[in-house]
Amino acid sequence: MKYISLTLLYCATLLAATAQEKKKSDTLRQNNRTAMDTVIMEDVETGERRKVRITIPGKDDGVITIEKSEKTHAYEKDNQDSDDVKITVERPRQSHPIYGITFSRIDLGLVKLIDNGSFTLSDDNRDFKYRPGKTVNFGFDLLQAGYRFNDNFRLFLSAGFDWTYVRLRENIDFKENTTPLEWDYIDRDEINYSKNRLTSTYLRLPLTFELRSKHYSGLGRLKFAFGPEGGFLLKGTQRFKSDELGKQKFKDDYNFTQFRYGAFARFGVGSFGIYAKYYFNDLFENSPNQAGLQNMAFGLMLGF
């Protein structure tokens, strides 16, 4: 009887120890599973990195699921006796709306005036002679809304600001509140402007059709964008600088076209690129002598 009792006690202790060991093993497995709950995966084709949550079931289940916000990837074992894993991957959903605040397509380039199809100014516009290296365009987008149809094409409308700075050579002063556009010659013996800049500020509204290549490692995507662009005049400004009067600034619309329209094209790699745009209507309106005077811009861009 004594030996039976000792045997039963030994068996009970052994079972308790086995149960405790199994509990520790389950706890360790759960801890390991928890540690793997969140990982970062990179799509080798697109280069996109995402955080995903991994759920690993028991060995006999034979399925590992990776939960994503858009799709579920299923990983199945070839057989129950092997550690090899067969991977079946569903591509994530690629089409989705585009909207929100942005700070992109930052343009900085040179401006060329075109007089009835020629880069040479006519006699009526000879007073608009400008310094080519200091006549520039600057702009950027702040809002956008559209749709990404797939990984290679998207369409969106954006809104931003655009400035054209024309650095004039002649010593002329444009008159405010006059139609058509008029100006006065300033005698250089009285006042000699070392800086004479005429500026237009527009709210720009480009509609962009964008084509994108696949992601190249170390390079990014090749991108090509084009489309129409409209713009509403916000203000015109003329700034002077002279030894006699110092810095001066005057605001008026200076008969700039109230609504301009044109087309643009952009090409780049990753976040960098080049751009060009041309406006179909005249630089000034209600000014017959300036009829046919248009402008175009081209240069570098950041934030494709």
Region 43-50: what's the mean pLDDT? 56
Same domain, yes or no: 171 and 270: yes
The residue written with tokens 């030994």 in the block is 10
Task: Check if the beta carbon of residue 120 is closer than 8 Å to that of residue 132.
Answer: no
> What is the mean pLDDT of the segment spanning 52-75?
46
What mean pLDDT is predicted for residues 185-209?
96
Domain check: are 144 and 80 in the same one? no
Is there a single domain that holds both residue 83 and residue 123? no
Dist CA 37 CA 50 (whole Å): 13
How high is the pLDDT of residue 91?
A: 52
Looking at the chain, the whole-number percentage of residues with pLDDT higher than 90 is 66
Residue among 269, 261, 266, 244 at smallest CA distance from 295: 261
Per-residue model confidence (pLDDT) at position 219? 87
55 and 126, same domain (yes or no): no
More confident residue, 287 or 41: 287
Beta bridge partners of 181: none
Q: What is the pTM of this model?
A: 0.71
Check whether residue 37 and residue 58 sit in a common domain: yes
Q: Is residue 187 part of a domain?
A: yes
Are 47 and 140 contained in the same domain? no
Query: Which residue range is the domain that position 281 belongs to?
Result: 96-302
**In this structure, are 69 and 134 located in the same domain?**
no
Instruction: Examine residue 16 and state whether it is found in any structural domain, yes or no.
Output: no
Q: Do 81 and 101 reside in the same domain of the chain? A: no
Q: pLDDT band for position 54 (50/70/90)?
A: low
Indicate the number of domains in the chain. 2
- 268/218 Cα distance (integer angstroms): 15
The Cα 296–Cα 118 span in angstroms is 12
Residue 252 lies in a domain: yes
Residue with the bigger pLDDT between 28 and 162: it is: 162
* CA pair distance 141, 205, nearest whole angstrom: 9
Q: Residues 87, 106: one domain?
A: no
Structural domain includes residue 20: no
Query: Quick check: is 205 in a domain?
Result: yes
- 149 shares a domain with 255: yes
Kindly state whether residues 53 and 123 are assigned to the same domain: no
Query: What is the distance between the alpha carbons of residues 250 and 244, in angstroms, rounded to a whole number?
Result: 17
Q: How far apart are CA 120 and CA 158, in angstroms?
A: 34
Q: How far apart, in whole angstroms, are the C-alpha atoms of residue 256 and residue 136?
A: 17
Q: For residue 94, what pLDDT band results from cuts at 50, 70 and 90? A: confident
Q: What integer pLDDT is reported at residue 276 of this predicted model?
A: 98
Amino acid symbol at 185: Y
Q: Which residue has the higher pLDDT, 72 or 266?
A: 266
With a CB cutoff of 8 Å and minimum separation 6, the contacts of 72 are 65, 66, 90
pLDDT band at 74 (very low <50, low <70, confident <90, very high): very low
